[in-house]
Amino acid sequence: MAGAASIPILDLSWADGPKRAELLEQLRSALFDVGFLYIRHHGVSSTIIKDLTDMLPTLFELPAKEKASLSKLNSPHFLGYSGFAEETTLGKQDLREQYDFATELPVVYEAPLNDEGANVGRGKRNFSQLYWRLRGPNQWLELPGFKDAFTAYHDAVQDLSYRFVHLIEEAFDIPVGTCDHFFGRQDPEVTTAGRYTTSNGASKSFLPPQHRIKLLRYPPSSDPTQAQGVGAHKDSSGWLTFLCQVGGEPGLEVQSADGRWIKAPPIEGTFVVNFGNAFEAATDGAVKATIHRVIAPGPDNNVRYSIPFFQGLPLDMTVSEIRSYIPERVRRLRKEAGGDDGVSSFLDPRWDSLGDSQLRKWIRSHRDVGLKWYGQEVVDFYTA
């Protein structure tokens, strides 16, 4: 978080009325000065949210055996259940339990046919790239109504995420729809106008990406010295994050440029929005992937639940490619912020493609899944 000491709340209903210009001004400030914001009147129906959030306690109270049967270890896509404290951030256990779900999509990965890893892909896309193995179907819970509730929530937040990217494009003063093809959404007008083409004149198409949704439970911690709900981090799973804080239990904190931790408590009817590493890299750090963490509830507090939605990007896209859509005028707005600068490691040329950086991220946080499905050599490469 750059300068401001408090996190702005933007009213997205202003997008459709006379206050649109004011909203865009607030958005610019949230993007360039703060790097974290709340949105209200966002258009995701409270019924859709409630249908999913009401199920959270039941989902986590299922018998341990049933939850374990959905272990991420079953999934080369890192989708499924992780037990309490099975995930680590900064080498320390996170005191939370979670299910990872995603846009329901079939497997596209094709194991290479020969030792050279020859291009066996369909058409121009090389599906033998290891990172394509991240893409694949969910492990569904046998809980009546869950799949429908999850799917409705996914679709509604996906729609919000696309509307929000349009607002950002407007705030950046670039044509609305510039980023549509990142999400496999081709605006015919944009294409025929020929504004978004590659250097050789071909218009580039991507598969619609897989968005990731975590269902999180943070139980009260009996030991106040052990309160890492999730350690300080930048989001690396996507482009933008839309976080639903369920109920009233606080814990989320956001780091300001001078290193102070600012509380971001739940506010009824809002999502928290923040920006992932890829967004920071694409804007050369003009918009920060702000560092945040969750303090686990104390012994006298309630269980905390939350649901972050990580808006996906195409795995075969490169950071340099995304950056080419963000004008230099925007990228020059970079303000220096103190603290660690994760952009540089994200931009390591070894993982210029987003798929590589995603595979690295998942292997680093779930080494056991990495070893099982990708093997020692790959794990060593990404954790070195």
Residues forming the site for ligand AKG (CB under 6 A): 214, 216, 230, 235, 243, 245, 252, 292, 294, 306, 308
Q: How far is the CB of 188 from ligand AKG (least distance, A)?
A: 36
Going by C-alpha positions, the residue among 282, 270, 286, 271 that lies closest to residue 238 is: 282
Q: Provide, rounded to whole angstroms, the least separation between the CB of residue 264 and ligand AKG.
A: 8
Phi, psi of 190, rounded to the nearest 5 degrees: -65, -45
State yes or no: residue 280 binds Fe ion (CB under 5 A): no
Comparing CB distances to ligand AKG, the nearer of 252 and 369 is 252
| Nearest to ligand AKG of 204, 233 (CB atom) | 233
- Find out whether 149 and 53 touch, Cβ atoms under 8 Å: no
Token digits of residue 311: 């808006």
Q: How far is the CB of 174 from Fe ion (least distance, A)?
A: 26
HEC-encoded secondary structure of 297-337: CCCCCCCEEEEEEECCCCCCCEHHHHHCCCCHHHHCCCCCC
**What angle do the packed helices 146-171 and 46-53 form, to 10 degrees?**
130
Residue 97 binds to Fe ion (criterion: CB under 5 A): no
Q: Which stretch binds Fe ion (CB under 5 A): 7-15, 66-74, 230-238, 363-371?
A: 230-238
Nearest to Fe ion of 76, 238 (CB atom):
238
Nearer to ligand AKG among residue 292 and residue 366 (C-beta): 292
Closer by beta carbon to ligand AKG, 121 or else 231:
231
Residue 168 contact among Fe ion, ligand AKG, none, beta carbon within 5 to 8 Å by kind: none
Q: Please state, in angstroms and rounded to a whole number, the distance separating the CA atoms of residues 250 and 60.
A: 19
- Centre a 10 Å sphere on the Cβ of residue 279 and count the other Cβ atoms it contains: 26
Please report how close the Cβ of residue 292 comes to Fe ion at its closest, in angstroms. Answer: 6
Q: How far is the CB of 235 from Fe ion (least distance, A)?
A: 4
**Among Fe ion, ligand AKG, none, what binds residue 286 when CB lies within 5 to 8 Å by partner kind?**
none
Identified binder of Fe ion from the candidate list 94, 97, 180, 235, rule CB under 5 A: 235
How are beta strands 36-40 and 270-275 bridged, if at all? antiparallel
Taking the alpha carbons of 239, 359, 219, 231 in that order, is the dihedral positive or negative? Answer: negative
CA-CA distance, 339 to 23, in Å (whole number)?
30
Closest residue to ligand AKG, Cβ-based?
306
Does 94 interact with Fe ion (rule: CB under 5 A)? no
Closer to ligand AKG by CB, 81 or 206: give it: 81
The answer to the question of residue 253 lying near Fe ion (CB under 5 A) is: no
Closest by Cα among 364, 66, 100 to 217: 100
Q: H/E element holding 57?
A: helix 56-61
Q: Tell me: does residue 321 bind Fe ion (CB under 5 A).
A: no
Question: Which range in 55-63, 126-134, 200-208, 231-239 contacts Fe ion by CB under 5 A?
Answer: 231-239
* Cβ closest to ligand AKG, residue 82 vs residue 158: 82
User: Cβ(143)–Cβ(62) under 8 Å?
Assistant: yes
Using CB under 5 A, count the residues that bind Fe ion: 1
Measuring CA to CA, how many Å separate 359 from each of 95, 288, 315, 323, 351?
23, 22, 10, 21, 9
Choosing among Fe ion, ligand AKG, none, which partner's interface includes residue 315 (Cβ < 5 to 8 Å by kind)?
Answer: none
In the bound state with ligand AKG, the residue whose beta carbon lies nearer, of 98 and 178, is: 98
Which spans in 172-284 are helix H? 188-193, 277-282
**Residues in the site for Fe ion, rule: CB under 5 A?**
235
